[in-house]
Amino acid sequence: MKRTSYHHGALRDALLAACLRLIETEGLAAVSLRRVAREAGVSTAAPYHHFPDRAALLATLSTQGFQLLGEQLAAARADAATPMAALTALADTYVRFSREQPAYFRLMFRPELSQPDKHPDAMAAGDAAFAVLADAIAECVRAGTLPTDKADTLAVMFWGLGHGLASLWLDGQLEKRAGQFGATASDLVDDVMRTFAALIEPSAPPLT
């Protein structure tokens, strides 16, 4: 049955929620404006009032995902006791986000949505989320715990490590490997990030 009670703003939100549900349950390939309309219980013409095409719908969701991730990263950094602890907290938050928001995570890094000329809002939101990590690295540099000339490199290294762990966990591979080590995936992620932080911190004692 078609729903006709959505007002203008609510229709947009309903379409975005329906699209997210489709990605979660059936994958990105299932998404079309017609299918999203059916999932939301509206006419097939309704999505076009807000989104000219499928890419625009997905880019809007990607923007939302990065905004949500950025908020969570900022909160994790603010709660950390030290600059280096903030880096570990950011990595933990990034990995947890992928577990709690798998539809967003699978969508946000799609190459077709990472084109600033076509989807500037998504790119800006992604840059803002990355800036939380970059600022945390800069704080470590100011505190003397990380080398000044490697700040940009270390930001990408932390991002790459966190993203790799998140992807492995989301795909079920990390839990499998953790089980072979007699650990949980969560404990393994924590140990990996703390080990990495200790290795790159000049003043850190040797690992034992």
pLDDT average, residue stretch 74-100: 93
- Mean pLDDT on 93-106: 94
Q: Is residue 207, in this structure, part of any structural domain at all?
A: no
Whether 207 has a pLDDT exceeding 50, the answer reads: no
Measured between its terminal Cα atoms, the distance across the chain in Å is: 64
> Residue 206: what pLDDT?
43
Residue 33 shares a structural domain with residue 95: no
> With 90 as the cut, is the pLDDT of residue 9 above it?
no
Query: Look-up: residue for tokens 């947890």?
Result: 96
Residues 28 and 87 in one domain: no
Domain ranges, residue 144: 54-200
Give the model confidence (pLDDT) of 160-203 as tens digits: 999 999 999 999 999 999 999 999 998 898 889 888 878 877 55
- Show which of 29, 51, 73 is a domain's final residue: 51
Is the CB of residue 165 less than 8 Å from the CB of residue 95?
yes
What's the Cα-to-Cα distance from 72 to each of 57, 109, 173, 183, rounded to whole Å? 23, 18, 25, 26
Q: Which helix (H) or strand (E) holds 116?
A: none
The answer as to whether 208 is a domain residue is no
CATH number for 32: 1.10.10.60
Model pLDDT for residues 26-66, shown as the tens digit of each residue: 999 999 999 999 999 999 999 999 999 999 999 999 999 99
Reading the block at residue 155, the tokens are 């930001």
Q: Are residues 69 and 43 in the same domain?
A: no
Q: How far is CA 81 from CA 84, 113, 123, 157, 184, in A?
A: 9, 36, 30, 22, 25
Residues 45 and 72 occupy one common structural domain: no
Letter for the amino acid at 44? T
- pLDDT recorded at residue 190: 85
Non-local CB neighbours of 119 within 8 Å, separated by 6+ positions = 55, 59, 62, 63, 113
Number of domains the chain is built from: 2
193 within a domain of the structure (yes/no)? yes
C-alpha 173/C-alpha 168 separation (Å) is 5
Residue 205 lies in a domain: no
| Digit-coded pLDDT (tens) for 103-154 | 999 999 888 777 777 889 999 999 999 999 999 999 999 998 888 888 999 9
Report the pLDDT value the prediction gives residue 26, as an integer from 0 to 100. Answer: 93
Residue 42 shares a structural domain with residue 9:
yes
Taking 60 as the threshold, does the pLDDT of residue 19 lie above it?
Answer: yes
Whether 58 and 3 map to the same domain: the answer is no
